[in-house]
Structures are given as structure tokens and as C-alpha cells.
Amino acid sequence: MLPWFASLALALFSAPAAHGTCITDKAAAAADKIFDYIIVGAGLGGLTVGNKLSGKGFSVLIVEAGPDLSWNPEVFNAEDRVFQSATCNWQYPVLANNGSKLPSTIDSGACIGGSTSINGMVWYRPTKAEVDRLETLGNPGWNWDSISPHMKAIERNHVPDETQIAQGAGVDPAVHGYSGAVNTSFPTPMRIPKAVALYKQALPFAFSGLTVGSDLSNRTSVVSASTSWTIWYDSATGKNRRSSAADALLWSPDQQRDSLTVLANHTVDRILFSKDMTATGVVFGSKSVTKGKMSRVYAKKGVVLSAGTFGSAPILERSGIGNAVALKAAGVKQFLNLPGVGANLNDQPGTSTSALIAEAFRNDTSIVDGRNLFGPQISLINIDEIWGASASIYSNELISPSALRSRAQALVEAGAAANIDGAEAILNTTISLILQSRLPVAELLAESYPSVISAIFWPLMPLSRGHVHINSPDAFAPPAIMPRFLTDEFDQAVAIAVARRTRDLFNAPPFKNVVADAYLDPPISRNGTDEEYLAWLSKTTSGASHWIGTTAMMPKKLGGVVDERLRVYGTKNLRVVDAGILPFQITSHTMSMLYAVASRAASLILADA
């Protein structure tokens, strides 16, 4: 037996995580070095994969264009984020359908944690029907049974207490995980409970057949319910704190990894390849630190692009991988023809209507409160709840093979799809989810702002598509993003119908005393023309921030960019793991699905290691 001091010394020397994860902005930590894996982007996808690969002892470098803002309350306090803040935000320029630059910009996370450091934190699950469609589209192994366990594993739900339940929080215990790294819960105190109660009473007046349930993650029957957020209540400070991918998988003391290095403030320009298109490393640099002087770093086992829907496709294009026309226009020599790169861009086109709150209620914090905890009551609405028996007018059009073909043709002509067969396969997936599975086609969020009560809404599974491409070979130049919102007539019909119904919502009896003017914004009557509503929608619509699709996972012949193991077609040791791989929109906000996608991706990478 060893004397007590010897065993103490042994315990000390064998203690793991003597240093922990290295987060640095010094290029020397990476330049000319060799790692097992290089991951591009420290957002949701990159941090999930980096955490899992380094957890198995592989040396991993994550290169992130933005800074570490762990000290910034706008990032760590759930309620402190300023609306349209430039903090941790790429604020990408956005193009109208005619190519002219719009005054608005697109929000996207630009610091460690990626978009999870700035997002709306709304957490709920998609349905089995839509997740199973990934497999039907030609991606063996991607279905609810393989994905949902990962969704459960990442979540640590804190069930609401009695006070929270009395103020509108609901939970169905079976649809949550309880031992994961990402906290989900309701805020303390709850937000605008009286407004939420009024919405619940008024919703059935606007959408007949809509049932109000308790938990939005329970997608078997519930279409309107309270949601949870990726937050936790810190009783020490009395604040609701954000649980971002960085909080959960990088900064947390119990997630430290000697084998993980995160290089902040450095942008990845392009991928390095050997002659047989094996990815061997990346070229990176920093505009501010090194004035754009570029360095190289090498990967023995693989490169993973997790730069997001607007980041990964441009890196492929700067590396010579993509659509011939786009590469030529940007002045980049093509090495690999993959026409799907940057096509199929999709987000939900969101806008809102507002009613003026009667003076007597404007200072009532149970109805109006400016805290940044978005959408306390969310409704998911299908075509029957919008149109009743008239829904058949829309379903007959959607189901027609000639309509499908002309939709697909229009996407190809607009550069929003790689080919007709691929466009048909993607559109048909969404159409059968709408018609056969009767999944919701619109989302409506109850909100309030100083003096107004609002209905934020968007078509949930749009058929419209846009594109993103580089303008030049410059790694520091923003890409050209053309969302092409509401270009499909079905998306227009959904948006117009839901806009009208929100007027019925604010005119419903439960709001009688609280609402002073149901038609405050837009100043269009209930029965204004479709043209009036459409003109207003085209002016006010912006993305719901669930951008997907530009490096779609599907068969190559359909215009896919990655295969079912997330490998970029025509290359070796190169993968994409981020929102860009989802080929079609899902009916939940993206996080729950993407954590599961990234976690499953890490398992596939480890299986191939």
C-alpha cells in the first residue's frame, strides 16, 4: 500500500483537464500545425461536432471568424439582447428579386456560439413525419428513430413550477430530455401571462379547429401551446441566462478538452486539397490582426465545414467547388462541378400585424413587457384550419403533376435549384407533408411591444427558394444573398390568408376591452384585396432566421451537395455539418433538429475515423 501522500500525488498528477480547451486568437496556435480534424465555424454545428470528436481524444481545431463574447451580457443574459443589435451579427446584405440591394440585412451569429449566441432561444421539436422524409428523399439512415434519441440526449429540461404553470407554462414530460448539456425551461418570472391567456381564448375564433394544448414539443395532436426556451434561471443573479452551444459544449467547466483548440477572430478562405481531391487542410486569415495575410493549417483525418447556411457554400465556391456560372462570375476556377452549391436557399418569410392596446392596459406588464423572450404562445396552423372546406382548391393545385413541373422549372430558371428532378423531389416532399400528413403551413407567435399587441407569422414550409453565391474570391467580402421570398403563389396565399385571420384574432370577443384599434398595422381592412395584402407583405417580410438548404443532403443526381454521411460529393475527408444540409424546411425552429443532426454527424465521423 502506498503512503497517503504518494496516493495524493498520484491523484494530482493523473487529474484530467490540467489545461482544458484552448481558446485563443493567436494564429500561431494553428499556422503550419497538423490536427486530426479541422472544423470551420464555432456555431451550433461546429461546437457539437468539435465537442464529440475531441471527447474521444482526437486533436481538433475549430477556426471561428468572430470573437469570444462570453463576457458580454447581450450574449449571456437571455433578456439583455438589443433588438437588431450589431453585436455578434454578420448583418449580411440582402438582394431583392431584381438584384438591387435592399435596406434590410440578415441576422446571423458572428461570434463563438454562432447563431445560438444571438437567437430567439425558442425550443420545440419537429414531427416524425417530416424527419422521416429525409430518408425518403434518398438519405438512408436519416429518420425519426435515428434522430430523436439525439434530440433527447442534448436537452436538459427544467420542468416549470406551480407559479409558472399557473401563468401559462405547460410541459408534457415524455417529449423532453433531462440529462443533456443544453438547458431548456420557462423564464422566471413568466412573460405577459394575461396577454397569453387572451390569445388562447381568441385563437379558436380566428382558426376554427385549432386546439390549444400544453407543450409545443408534443407534436402528436397539439397545434397551439406554450414553448420552452434554451435558458436557465440563475437564482444567484436573478437573471434568465442563455444556454447557447458555447455555454453548453465549450465554456462549461465539465466540457473541457485538452485536445480542442478554438482559434477565434480568423476567417477560413478555402480548403486545401491533394491531387485526388482529398481535403488536407484550410487557408485562413484575419482582416484585423494580420491585415489579410493568409496562413495554412493541416488535417490528417478530415475537414468539417460548419460555417452555416451563408458560410459553408461560399467556402466551397472559393475552393473551386460549385456551379460553373456562379464560379465564373466570381472569377474562381472550377475544380469540381457541383451545381447544387448555394442553390435551394430557404427561410420562412415572416411579418406581423398589430393592434393598438387600449390606454388603460398599456402599462400593464402582464400584457406588455419589453423583455427579449420571444413568442410565449405559438400556434402551428394547417390548411384545414386556415381554409376549411376550401382547402381543396389549394390541394388540387398542389397535387397536380403539371403544377409541380412548372414550379420546378421556375426554380431552375431562377437559379434556385440545380435541376428539374431535384426541384420536383424537394417540392413534392413538402407538398406531401402539407397534404398527406396535414402538417402546419403557418406559424403564429403571440407577442406584444410597447402599446401594441402583435401577431408575428410566417408560412412554415415555403415552396419558394433563393440562392447564395460569392461575388469575388475575397474571403472577407460578403456573399450575394437572394432569398426570393414569396415567389411561389402558394406561399403568397398562405401569408395573405393568415394575415387576414390575425385581424379576426384581434377583433375576437376576448380582446374586446384590451384592444383599441384592431387594424393599426397594416392599415388595410379585413377584406382588403389580395393585391393590397401582397404589396404590404413584399415590403415588410424578412426571414424568420431559419436559413437552410444551400449544401443540401440528397443524392448527387438531384443536385445534392453532401451524401448521407455528410461527405461532399467528389471529395475525400470533407464534410458539411450545419443548417445548410437540410434540404427542406421543418415545422419546428431549427435548433432541436440541428443539434440532433450534428450529434449524429459526429457519430458517423467517429465511425469512419
Ligand X SMILES: *[C@@H]1O[C@H](CO)[C@@H](O)[C@H](O)[C@H]1NC(C)=O
Ligand Y SMILES: Cc1cc2nc3c(=O)[nH]c(=O)nc-3n(C[C@H](O)[C@H](O)[C@H](O)COP(=O)(O)OP(=O)(O)OC[C@H]3O[C@@H](n4cnc5c(N)ncnc54)[C@H](O)[C@@H]3O)c2cc1C
Interactions with ligand X, residue window 357-386 (CB under 6 A): 359, 362-363
Residues 217-236 that bind ligand X (CB under 6 A): 218, 220-222, 232
- Whose Cβ is closer to ligand X: residue 320's or residue 421's? 421
Within 560-599, the residues that bind ligand X by CB under 6 A are: none
Report how far Cα 221 is from the mean position of its chain's Cα atoms.
Answer: 24
Buried b (16+ CB within 10 A) or exposed e, 78-101: bbbbeeeeeebbbebbbbeeeeee
166: how many CB neighbours lie within 10 A of its CB? Answer: 11
Q: HSE on the CB side for 43, CA within 13 Å? A: 33
Stretch that binds ligand Y, among 196-204, 246-254, 305-313, 324-332 (CB under 6 A): 305-313
Q: Is 473 in the site for ligand X (CB under 6 A)?
A: no
How is residue 193 annotated by DSSP? H
> Can you tell me whether residue 150 is helix, strand or coil?
helix
Q: Does the footprint of ligand X cover residue 265 (CB under 6 A)?
A: yes
Residue 68 interacts with, from ligand X, ligand Y, none (CB under 5-8 Å by kind): ligand X
Q: In angstroms, what is the minimal distance from the CB of 287 to ligand X?
A: 10
Q: What does the alpha-carbon distance between residue 456 and residue 443 come to, in Å, rounded to a whole number?
A: 8
- Measured from the CB of residue 120, what is the shortest distance to ligand Y in angstroms? 3
Binder among 21, 54, 115, 573 for ligand Y (CB under 6 A): 115
- Those residues with Cβ within 8 angstroms of residue 98's Cβ, 6 or more apart along the chain or in another chain: none
Q: Is 268 annotated as a binding residue?
A: yes
Alpha helices in 216-299 (DSSP H): 245-246
| Residue 439 CB-half CA count within 13 A | 23
Burial string for 231-248 (b: 16+ CB within 10 Å, else e) reads bbbeeeeebbbbbbbbbb
Applying CB under 6 A, the site for ligand X has a residue count of: 33
Tell me the three cell numbers of residue 38.
479541422
Find which of ligand Y, ligand X, none residue 322 binds, CB within 5 to 8 Å per kind: none
Per CB under 6 A, the list member of 579, 582, 586, 601 interacting with ligand Y is 579
Whole-angstrom CA distances from 224 to 271, 548, 595 are 45, 25, 24
546 an active-site residue?
yes
Query: Of 362 and 565, which has the nearer Cβ to ligand X?
Result: 362
Q: What span, in angstroms and rounded, lies between the C-alpha atoms of 244 and 256?
A: 16
Measured distance CA(427)–CA(413) in Å, rounded: 15
Is 122 labelled as part of a ligand binding site? yes
Q: Which is nearer to ligand X, 114 or 322 (CB)?
A: 114
545 binds ligand Y (CB under 6 A): yes
Number of helices (H) and strands (E) in the chain: give both, helices first.
Answer: 17, 28
DSSP label of 446: E
- Provide the mask over 43-82, with x wherever binding to ligand X is found by CB under 6 A and - wherever it is not: ------------------------xx--------------
- Site membership for ligand Y, residue 590 (CB under 6 A): yes
Q: Does 268 bind ligand X (CB under 6 A)?
A: no
Helices 420-435 and 128-136, packing angle to 10 deg: 160
> Per the residue annotation, which of 158, 176, 467, 546 is the catalytic one?
546
For the purposes of burial, counting CB atoms within 10 Å of the CB of 290, is it exposed (0-12), middle (13-18) or buried (19 or more)?
middle
Task: Specify whether 589 is catalytic.
Answer: yes
Quote the cell numbers at residue 516.
383599441
Per CB under 6 A, 98 contacts ligand X: yes
Q: Which does 232 bind (CB under 5 to 8 A by kind): ligand Y, ligand X, none?
A: ligand X
Nearest-approach distance from CB 232 to ligand Y, in angstroms: 16
> How many residues contact ligand Y, by CB under 6 A?
37
120 annotated binding-site participant: yes
DSSP codes, 64-82:
-SS---TT-HHHHBTT-PP
> With binding defined as CB under 6 A, does residue 96 bind ligand X?
yes
Residue 98 contact among ligand Y, ligand X, none, beta carbon within 5 to 8 Å by kind: ligand X
| Residues contacting 477, CB < 8 A, separation 6+ | 470, 471
**Does residue 172 interact with ligand X by CB under 6 A?**
yes
Annotated binding-site residue? 325:
no
- Residue 513 known to bind ligand: no
Give 212's strand partners. 224
Q: Which of 323, 306, 236 is nearest to 268 (CA)?
A: 306
Q: CA–CA separation, 475 vs 464, rounded Å?
A: 28
Q: In which residue are the cell numbers 374586446 written?
A: 512
Query: Minimum Å distance from CB 222 to ligand X?
Result: 5
Task: Report in angstroms how near the CB of residue 382 gets to ligand X at its nearest.
Answer: 16
Q: Which does 363 bind (CB under 5 to 8 A by kind): ligand X, ligand Y, none?
A: ligand X
Q: Which CB atom, from 110 or from 327, has the smaller least distance to ligand Y?
A: 110
Among 72, 372, 432, 451, binds ligand X (CB under 6 A): 432
Whole-angstrom Cα distance, residue 150 to residue 490?
34
| Cβ–Cβ under 8 Å, residues 248 and 202 | no
Stretch of 58-66, 165-173, 201-209, 379-387 contacting ligand Y, by CB under 6 A: 58-66
How far apart CA 342 and CA 323 sit, in angstroms, is: 8
Pick 42 or 357: Cβ nearer ligand Y = 42
Task: Find which of ligand Y, ligand X, none residue 369 binds, CB within 5 to 8 Å per kind.
Answer: none
* Contact partner at residue 53 from ligand X, ligand Y, none, CB < 5 to 8 Å by partner kind: none
Which residue among 39, 44, 154, 463 contacts ligand Y (CB under 6 A)? 44
Give the side-chain half-sphere CA count within 13 A for 379: 29
Residues 248-287 that bind ligand Y (CB under 6 A): 267-268
> Of 116 and 346, which has the nearer Cβ to ligand Y?
116
Task: Tell me whether strands 60-63 and 34-40 are parallel, antiparallel or unpaired.
Answer: parallel
- Binding status of residue 260 toward ligand X by CB under 6 A: no
Residues 66-95 that bind ligand Y (CB under 6 A): 66
Output the smallest distance, CB 547 to ligand Y, in A: 7
* Cα dihedral 479/485/489/491 (nearest 10): 130
The answer to whether residue 213 forms part of the interface with ligand X (CB under 6 A) is: yes
ω before 67 within 30° of 0 (cis)?
Answer: no
Query: Could you tell me which residues are annotated as the binding site for FAD?
Result: 119-122, 268
Q: Which residues bind ligand Y (CB under 6 A)?
A: 40-45, 63-66, 107-110, 114-116, 118-122, 267-268, 306-308, 311, 315, 545-546, 578-579, 589-591, 594
Residues near ligand X, by CB under 6 A: 25, 67-68, 96, 98, 100, 172, 174-175, 181, 183, 213, 218, 220-222, 232, 243, 247-248, 252, 264-265, 359, 362-363, 404, 424-425, 428, 432, 526-527
Q: Which sequence positions are flagged as catalytic?
A: 546, 589
